[in-house]
Structure 1
Amino acid sequence: MVPDRPALVLLVDDDPASLKLLSEALAGQPLTLAVAVDGEMALRQIRREAPDLVLLDAMMPGMDGFEVCRRLKADPATRDVPVLFMTVLADPTSRVRGLELGAVDYVTKPFVREELVARVRTHLSIRAAAGALSAAVSALSEKNEELARARASLEIEVARRTEELRAANQRLERELELNRAAELRVQKAQNELAHLNRVSAMSELAASIAHELSQPLAAILSNAQAADRLLAQTPPDIVDARAALSDIAADDRRAGMIIQRMRAMLRKGELSVAALDLGEIVREVTRLVASAALLAGTTVRIELAPGLPCVRGDGVQLQQVLLNLLVNALDAVSRRPPEARLVVVRTRPADAGHVELSVADSGEGIPQADLERIFEPFFTSKTHGLGVGLAISRSIVEAHGGRLWAECGPGEGATFRCALPAWNEDTLPAE
């Protein structure tokens, strides 16, 4: 959806009376209506200007709505245009056929005005959210490219400065006495080199930012799909759909918090330490992945030990650690039969004033040789993984004064354990 204009909705129906009823039902909404009276006319209009939503009559003479939808989804230029079928057909075969062709929803004729408006608003909102996500991903990609170019430039500059320092040191070794002015110049050059190294390290955060944001963005998409399915039910599940939309807003705020937290880390270089209820962190993060687990057919079970002390740490960062572990666990069990897909999150007291958080899955496990390698940057067994999630998680846990490790037994899946120090008013925050 283009943000500078109202949403464009194309009404496709060979019945003028039906087009009139649709136009009257949608009158007063913040959108622009266009009409087409047959399939060929609809395809021409869509190719000329892609609408944000197509309300398509399934049964039309000549080219029916199913064929129009098939052609739209076969064309890369129009495959992303959402299609909402309008039909008097009530048999499941017709509905399934439309959904298999790529339609997002159905409205049955004669339609109820309130239901029609609600469905149109919902799919336009989903369309807008998808556009915003695409723009955000493009912006992140451009930023990553800028950071990569900056890093390459910095590496060249560091190499050049290093060579300059080497030459300067050779000249100083040949001199019998070092004067104070030469020492100051060398010290200044060394300080500049250290600064360049720090800036170069900052550029490496590009991969971290992309990985950290991928999970709330994926949660937004998952909740949007869940809301779409809930609204497609008969009758629509409005309560759960609103809950899914609320989750989308919460995940959006979480992505903003992640960016703000990373900026704060770059600026201050220290954690925001507080006393945290580990059980509350578990409940919040498992709520975030609930839709993804539901769509994947995975059971996520929580086992929280009562009366645990608070832990010392940064809430957003510890949430991200658990989120990384849960996403990996969901992926690990995805290749198992649906009845065998189980992820268990536990908390329990640990030794030496620590509290342990663990995430166990019923997946295929991890080879013993890889139990430590999986925490190395860019080591991944996923087809599309970056290989930075576990490395980032271990860095966060160690910065909190804790420890993160993996265990795996034959036929027992994998378990990731995280031991964090309990809160103590007399203990200084971790450096």
Structure 2
Amino acid sequence: MHESIAHELRKYREEADRYRLLAEQSTDMISRHTATAEWIFIDVNPAVERVLGYSAEEIIGTKGYDLFHPEDADNLLKRAETVHYRRGMYTNTYRYRHKDGHYIWLETTSKTIRDVKGKSVEIICVSRDVTEREMAQRSIRRLARVVEASSDLIMFCNHQSMQLTYMNESAYRTLGSEKENLVVFYLDQIFEPDVFNTLVQDALNHAAQHGTWYGSVPIKMAENHNRIAEIREVIAHRNRTENMQVEYYSIIGRDITLKRRAEEQAKRQQLEMAHMSRLLSVGEMATGLAHEINQPLAAILNYCRGSLRRLEEGTNESNLPQITHSMKLITKQAKRAAEIVKRMRSFVKRTDFQRVEFSINESCVDVIGFLNQEAIDHNITFSFELDPKAPKLLADKIQIEQVLLNLVRNAIEAYSECNKPYRPVIITTRQSQGYIYISVQDEGNGISAEGLNTLFEPFITSKSTGLGMGLAISQTIVETHGGQLWAESDGINGTQFHFKVPVRKN
């Protein structure tokens, strides 16, 4: 009998030793606490040193409650979201102070041990450091909040079904729906069929091959939904644990309604400024233009007087040819005057931006004809070095001619403080590597290095009259056409203005 009891006790001690060994070897922190508010450490395994930095001797007898982060101390009492209960055990995730003073995240499963009367005796806890996991989850949650609050359209698309499995608030709003009213969207629904079958499929294929795609593809908006949006980026996500096949795509878009409106407003303002600049240019050339028109009018008047005298002398066969010739000359001069007025009206007319195909060589000649009288008044000699292939330009003809006019007038004015008797202005055109280059050169005194630095800034001018907007507006016009305008000068031997505009086909 006594041997049987001794055997049972020996078995229980051996079993207890095995559990003690397991507890001591465990990487989890196993601890016993008083069933009081202080939560005093009664016993703890050696893992406490790895987890909290304390030795077992240091922490036994201390109040465990004091090491809780103030915001997490009453999680169990408050039944916080981080607390879960199952089968008599609580699992709590909370911040706990390390011996070094910083807080770590612990996940603790605890069970209250009670006596036969149901009174709490002690609490046994198994705790593990989940700081890395918790920080990763918090990062994911922060990222999710950023994604949800982003003004960009962010969508996840299944690789096989093309169903949009996630859309943030901006995506729902831009597509004319609400997140509360769940609507199943498929990728092909948010694009025009031809766009989806070409541009979108190309973007998905490129992302699948290279990981990402960047570009611009317009999104189809719902009817009466006055918005403009486009996708800008596609990211392919692969299954890295299995076959590396694409699982889903992240599609990032943007509502560009405000951007387009701002661009349209800027374009309207640019057109208005260009129109004002043309009006100012015509105002500055008023004397010369009046003289240009007066010449054919004076010629018409003289031919009419001569014809009247001959008619008063009597009509006969000898003077009929002379009268007929006078009528032809009158017609020619009338057409010349009409052409001058037509060109001036066309130049000052307020127009929308219109791309047309035209000969840049012909425009150079036309602009020079517009400045004929001004050139005579300043003793200017025009010289042309035009591309013999007569390149065609697809652009706003009036605006390009406005740039030419500004540059040629600048070249003419460059001689105002110059005593050189020979005053050439050379206009050159050439086509090279997809661009048409136009140059206007003078041989005046040139522009200093300091002057070149501020040449295209608005409201800066060396003239006593004028707003100093001509070159600034010219630069804007050229850049709007995808080109570039620049000047070269050594400050002594004249100045060369160059601009290039890309050749674009219909």
TM-score band, normalised by shorter chain: 0.3 to 0.5
Larger Rg: 1 or 2? 2
Q: Which structure is higher in helix share?
A: 1
Query: TM-score, normalised to structure 1's length?
Result: 0.46
Query: TM-score, normalised to structure 2's length?
Result: 0.39
